[in-house]
Amino acid sequence: MTLDLIFDLETQDPDDVLTLCLVATHPAVRLRAVTVTPGSPAQVGLVRRVLGRLGRDDVPVGACDPGTGKDHVSAFHHRWLGTPAPAPADAGPAELTARTLRDHPEAVLLTGGPLHNLGRLLDGHPEARLSRWVAQGGFAGDNVVAPEHRLPKFDGRLTCPTFNFNGAPRAARLALSSGGRIGRRELVSKNVTHGVVYDRRFHERLRPLRDRSAGLALLFEGMEHYLRRKPGGKLLHDPTAACVAVDGAVAAWAEVEMVQDGSGAWGALPAAGSGTFITVGIDHERLFRVFTGETAGGPGGRAQGSSPSCLPDVRRACRLRHS
């Protein structure tokens, strides 16, 4: 089954453009639209350069210039892809997403940055419905994640700040409490993505497979640049979320309600029937196969057993905020 995909990205971390390379030519994906946050013309120019190199000039780009006077593009992208001229968007991000959903009602939204554009969609287009939203963001703590799946850096935690949700907290709360407007919410959370590393070993494993698609080849080229300066590698946050969008069985899941503590950090409470699923484990081999285009499945959501022993503590520590 081929996945119709809308991808919302930012360009201050290499992750998102690597993901764009991955999904633009993945054999299991039809990339229908790209939206950009915060949406500067320099960002749009960069996205168009990547799409052009991949033979995907047909993909429309949505953005709304934030008027900050900054390009919002990291130095890594300039070293890798040069400095393309600033470019206009085809439409505003919410307008493009709404139009794409009218044309492709089952299209999945993948978000790789702060949720400004999803917030705009929900605020400005009450008719818009998403069958499935896959977000890189959120956090599942010890009350949800089994001991054998906990990363040492998060052991003992119930909540944690998360860049993409804390970057637009009102939009995040709106999307997470959107009821029937979003059929399934799948959160590919940092408690999992911090365990997925593109290092030299991953790079060499990918080397003989890189010509399977133009996107893999360009991604490989980008990581050649990255690893020269940072040989320890790169955490694969958004590419992991993209692989989960293609094949939900890449991850193990718990059905939850997302909450925030008084500091704004995020946690998860087990909540059957919520329609919100969060990752609590990862199948690294299946992830690599999806990454390289070998296999594809469908949405995730088989909730795994969670440990209820920490539940009273996290309920005291967290409260869901809607305003």
pLDDT in tens, 278-306: 999 999 999 999 999 996 555 654 434 33
* Helices within 11-87 (DSSP H only): 14-24, 41-53, 75-81
pLDDT attached to residue 243: 98
Instruction: Grade residue 1 by pLDDT with cuts at 50, 70 and 90.
Output: confident
Task: Give the Cα separation of 164 and 53 in Å (integer).
Answer: 28
For residue 306, count other CB atoms closer than 10 A to its CB: 21
pLDDT attached to residue 297: 55
Residue 52, SS3 per DSSP? helix
Over 90: is that where the pLDDT of 172 sits?
yes
Task: Give the Cα separation of 6 and 63 in Å (integer).
Answer: 13
Instruction: Grade residue 318 by pLDDT with cuts at 50, 70 and 90.
Output: very low
pLDDT attached to residue 296: 54
- Provide φ and ψ at 149, rounded to 5°: -105, 0
Residue 240 token pair: 């992991």
Over 60: is that where the pLDDT of 179 sits?
yes
State pTM to two decimals. Answer: 0.93
pLDDT attached to residue 310: 34
Mean pLDDT of 236-259: 98
Q: Where are the beta strands (DSSP E) in 138-211?
A: 185-188, 197-198
Q: Which structural domains are found in the chain, ordered by start?
A: 3-319 (3.90.245.10)
Q: What distances in angstroms separate CA 80 from CA 49, 177, 184, 224, 239, one per listed residue?
A: 11, 39, 36, 9, 18
Which amino acid is located at 67 in the chain? Answer: G
**Contacts of 262 by beta carbon, 8 Å cutoff, 6+ apart:** 319
